[in-house]
Amino acid sequence: MRILLVEDDAALADTTTRALQSQGWAVDWCTRGEQVAMSVKQDPYDLVVLDIGLAGIDGFETLRRLRAEGLTTPVLMLTARDAVEDRVRGLEGGADDYLVKPFAITELVARARVLTRRASARRDDTLVLGSLRMDLAAKRLFAGGEVVELSAREWSVLEYLLARLGKVVSKEQILQGIAGWDESLSENAVEVYVSRLRSKLEPAGVRVRTIRGFGYLLEAMEPNGAKP
């Protein structure tokens, strides 16, 4: 899961980022609301955690612009304002949930999980290719009914590829899809994860093919190993 945190309190942002990352989620952090709508259009975020009291345009206006663009990414709003009218304004403006400061980090993590689970339930929770079945809700991969064990990074790379079946994706696109802005992953790291995936997927009749000069293509194989 990838989250965009919009918070101009550096200390709170650091604590929140660490808590979310501890769940295995990629987190990008920014301090202003002006570019949020464009960022969400360009990157596949699963959740926006949005503070109301931002410098420049506030969280309400940021949310308005996000929804005006037709973007349906779940939004969890953070605020020091506990007035009922402010909470109502945020929810009626398109927020999916509301958390008043100071809050327990464990509650923030729980609410984030619920919101993304709810959004996921509105989509197909299963990705399938040949004998391979990826259960997004349960976070489990099956090959012919048998569980395939993946690391968190291997899971993220495979989910990215499966969600883009029939398309060649570059190493840079994979990096943007699985890593936060502050993470030091490299294209060499992507190569390592792809190599590990190959060893686990090919016995199940699925391979990650390298398209020289362009990137990778996930595809099913014929029983003899050839492309169908």
pLDDT at 228: 45
User: Which of the four pLDDT bands, split at 50, 70 and 90, describes residue 55?
Assistant: confident
Q: Decide if pLDDT at 37 tops 50.
A: yes
**Positions of CATH 1.10.10.10 in the chain:** 126-220
CA 155 to CA 166: how far, in whole Å? 19
Structure tokens at 105: 């980090």
pLDDT at 225: 47
107 Cβ partners below 8 Å, 6+ apart? 99
31 Cβ partners below 8 Å, 6+ apart? 6, 7, 8, 13, 54, 55
Q: For the residues 42-65, what does the mean pLDDT come to?
A: 89
Per DSSP bridges, beta strands 47-51 and 75-79 are: parallel
Contact 12, 35 (CB under 8 A): no
The Cβ of residue 96 has, within 10 Å, a number of other Cβ atoms equal to: 20
User: Which of the four pLDDT bands, split at 50, 70 and 90, describes residue 75?
Assistant: very high
User: Which of the four pLDDT bands, split at 50, 70 and 90, describes residue 180?
Assistant: low
What 94-98 contacts at long range (C-beta under 8 Å, 24+ apart), as own/partner pairs, is: 94/63, 94/64, 94/66, 94/67, 95/50, 95/63
pTM > 0.75 = no
pLDDT at 187: 85
Q: Decide if pLDDT at 124 tops 80.
A: no
Q: For the residues 116-131, what does the mean pLDDT come to?
A: 70
One CATH from 3.40.50.2300, 3.90.550.10, 3.40.50.2000, 2.40.30.10 for 2-121: 3.40.50.2300
Per DSSP bridges, beta strands 26-30 and 2-6 are: parallel
Q: Decide if pLDDT at 109 tops 70.
A: yes
Give me the percent of the chain exceeding a pLDDT of 90: 41
Q: Provide the CATH topology of domain 126-220.
A: Arc Repressor Mutant, subunit A (1.10.10)
Contact 210, 200 (CB under 8 A): no
**Positions of CATH 3.40.50.2300 in the chain:** 2-121
120 vs 173, residue with greater confidence: 173
Average pLDDT, the chain: 85
pLDDT at 181: 55
User: Which of the four pLDDT bands, split at 50, 70 and 90, describes residue 220?
Assistant: confident
Can you tell me whether residue 27 is helix, strand or coil?
strand
Q: For the residues 183-197, what does the mean pLDDT come to?
A: 87
